[in-house]
């Protein structure tokens, strides 16, 4: 499935590692929630990670060879699928696991190569190139200082999370 055709709007946050994607989302999500937006988040990681506590039943069963484990309680549900260690996950496939009946928006951290609408996070001090000059799917740049060049997208100040939330809501409304 093409992620840009998902039944719920999908908005990515793209940047080089260490730019502050998670920090921005950590501040942005509560603002969007207060404004009535029901959202989900899909995060990509380049690193191996453990979601379950070692020694617990679900961890033991996964390590025994279960390729997928669905762990559920009245507090939360988690789906764990083992990867092959080489193939990157497919965002379109991951989106299909979300319960769209309870969503207005899906935020995506990472997956910067996937052709979805994205806000780029940029810190010139990191000396990384701008993505928005070569990616037509980037709809805005959130930066910690004004860029020194003319850009094809609006520029938002990274520390003004309320304005970024306004931009996201305007984008959502305009879809």
CA distance 90 to 111: 9
Q: What is the pLDDT of residue 64?
A: 75
Q: Which string of DSSP letters, residue by residue, matches the chain?
A: --GGG-SS-EEEEE--TTS-HHHHHHHHHHHHHHTT--EEEEE--SS----SPTTSHHHHHHHTT-SEEEEE-SS-EEEEE---SSSPPPHHHHHTTS-GGG-SEEEEES-TTS-SEEEEEE-GGG-PPPSTTT-TTEEEEEESS--SS--SS-EEETT-HHHHHHHHHHHHHT-
163 shares a domain with 126: yes
139 shares a domain with 67: no
100 shares a domain with 54: no
135 shares a domain with 69: no
117 shares a domain with 147: yes
CA torsion sign, 174 to 169 to 115 to 39?
Answer: negative
Q: What is the pLDDT of residue 45?
A: 62
107-150 pLDDT, tens digit per residue, is: 999 889 999 999 999 999 999 999 999 999 999 999 999 888 99
Residues in the chain, total: 175
92 shares a domain with 162: yes
Q: What is the pLDDT of residue 48?
A: 47
Tokens coding 123: 């810190």
66 shares a domain with 18: no
How many domains does the structure of the chain reveal?
Answer: 2
Q: What is the pLDDT of residue 172?
A: 97
Q: What is the mean pLDDT of residues 14-37?
A: 95
**Residue showing tokens 């899909």:** 42
**Residue span of the structural domain in which 64 resides:** 50-85
52-99 pLDDT, tens digit per residue, is: 678 777 777 777 777 777 777 788 777 777 778 888 889 999 899 899
Beta carbons within 8 Å of 10's beta carbon, 6+ residues apart? 3, 4, 95, 105, 106, 108, 116, 117
Q: What is the pLDDT of residue 1?
A: 82
Tokens coding 11: 């908005």
pLDDT band of 51, cuts 50, 70, 90: low
CA distance 51 to 79: 10
Pairing relation of β-strands 77-81 and 68-72? antiparallel
pLDDT of 47 strictly over 70: no
Q: What is the pLDDT of residue 72?
A: 76
pLDDT of 20 strictly over 60: yes
58 shares a domain with 112: no
107 shares a domain with 135: yes
Q: What is the pLDDT of residue 161?
A: 98
CATH code at position 138: 3.40.50.300
55 shares a domain with 80: yes
pLDDT of 174 strictly over 90: yes
159 shares a domain with 77: no
């Amino acid at each position: 499935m093409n992620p840009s055709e998902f039944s719920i709007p999908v908005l990515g946050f793209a940047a080089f590692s260490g730019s502050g994607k998670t920090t921005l989302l950590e501040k942005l999500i509560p603002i969007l929630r207060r404004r009535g937006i029901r959202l989900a988040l899909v995060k990509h990681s380049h690193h191996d990670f453990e979601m379950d506590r070692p020694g617990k039943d679900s961890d033991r069963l996964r390590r025994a060879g279960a390729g997928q484990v669905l762990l559920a309680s009245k507090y939360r549900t988690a789906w764990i699928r083992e990867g092959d260690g080489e193939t990157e996950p497919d965002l379109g496939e991951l989106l299909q696991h979300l319960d769209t009946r309870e969503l207005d928006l899906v935020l995506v951290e990472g997956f910067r190569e996937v052709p979805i609408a994205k806000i780029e996070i940029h810190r010139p001090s990191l000396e990384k190139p701008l993505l928005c000059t070569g990616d037509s799917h980037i709809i805005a740049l959130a930066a910690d200082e004004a860029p020194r060049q003319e850009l094809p997208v609006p520029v938002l100040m990274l520390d003004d999370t309320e304005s970024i939330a306004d931009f996201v809501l305007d984008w959502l409304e305009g879809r």
